[in-house]
Amino acid sequence: MEDDSNKIKDLISVVLSFRNEQEVIPELIGRLQKVFRSMNFDYELIFVNDDSTDHSLQKLIEHRQQNERIKIINVSRRFGGAPCIFAGFKHTRGDAVIYMDTDLQDPPELIPELLEKWREGFDVVHTTRTKRKGESLFKMWLTRRAYSMINFMSDIDIPQNTGDFKLLSRRAVDAVLTLDEYDPFLRGLSRWVGFKQTQVNYKREARFAGETKYSLFKSSNPYREFLRGITSFSAMPLYFALFLGFIVSISAFVYLVFVVISRLFFGMHQPGWPALMVIMLFLGGTILFTIGVLGIYIAKIHQDVKNRPKYFIESKMGFDEE
């Protein structure tokens, strides 16, 4: 009988982007270590520090002294979640890569199920929330509407209630890293690269501690993510602006014909000021809306043309190239 102890274990990389999570990090590391102790996998925990201003980094360094599988990347300033995840992806060595938030709303205890799906041959394993604790009904309703609108306009199908807690195989990660977009919509890119994909359902917990970084009214993140999702995979807003302009032009022409016929054949005098003001305001609003849609796409083109890096690394801990 072959001795399993002599087999080379698969390496699993876990990428965790964070900012100001000093209250959560000790519990998160403890639960991740417990999960991997129960499985026959080697692992590395790559924490990407998005310019935290609290004691998160100090706590990570303390835990790294006890477990060298903990690795740290500090970016030079605040770049946001997606660029930090890309920085983590770039430094992974794992046969499979899991990325997740650090607030413990996504339970580490789900990782064995993700790895089981990977063992079955799936390259991308999404996690879909069947229940979301600690979030208002309004936010949940708004989130569902946003996913529906993105899917309606997008060239790809993004599962609803599926966020930034996924497993990607090595080849899926390598494929994502070839997509050199300055402002990436990572939830969509993991779907767009294709390969064999599946979903795992779970109940999302309330935040373990601290304050959310994605409040509807305290942060622009949800709105930026919504616009990113639409513009990254669809040109429909541009076609909609064209269609709207066409409809407004036809309506204005029909109204003009109506005014002329009324005056010439029926002797009716149409009072002009109220109708004129309504038409002017409607046309002005339509023009501004169309310019706004064009502006969003032009801004994305502008960012990509400048070809700036998504992030800069200030320092690293625990990597071989040190």
Q: Which of 33-37, 182-186, 278-282 has the lowest mean pLDDT?
A: 278-282
Reported as a pLDDT band with limits 50, 70 and 90, residue 14 is very high
- Given the candidates 3.40.50.2300, 3.40.50.300, 3.90.550.10, 1.10.1040.10, the CATH classification of the domain at 4-211+313-317 is 3.90.550.10
Alpha-carbon distance 10 to 28, whole Å? Answer: 22
Q: Residue 283 in contact with residue 256, Cβ under 8 Å?
A: no
Backbone angles phi, psi at 18, to 5 degrees: -150, 160
C-alpha pair distances (Å), 226 with each of 88, 103, 299: 23, 21, 16
Segment 64-81 mean pLDDT: 89
Name residue, tokens 């060239």. 155
Alpha-carbon distance 216 to 140, whole Å? Answer: 11
Nearest to 313 by CA among 3, 67, 71: 71
Alpha-carbon distance 88 to 17, whole Å? Answer: 8
**Maximum mean pLDDT: which of 12-21, 264-273, 311-320:** 12-21
Residue 124 pLDDT > 80: yes
pLDDT at position 278: 63
Q: What is the largest CA-CA distance in the chain?
A: 103
Domain parsing of the chain, residue ranges:
4-211+313-317, 236-306
More confident residue, 299 or 322: 299
Token representation of residue 248: 């407004």
Reported as a pLDDT band with limits 50, 70 and 90, residue 8 is low
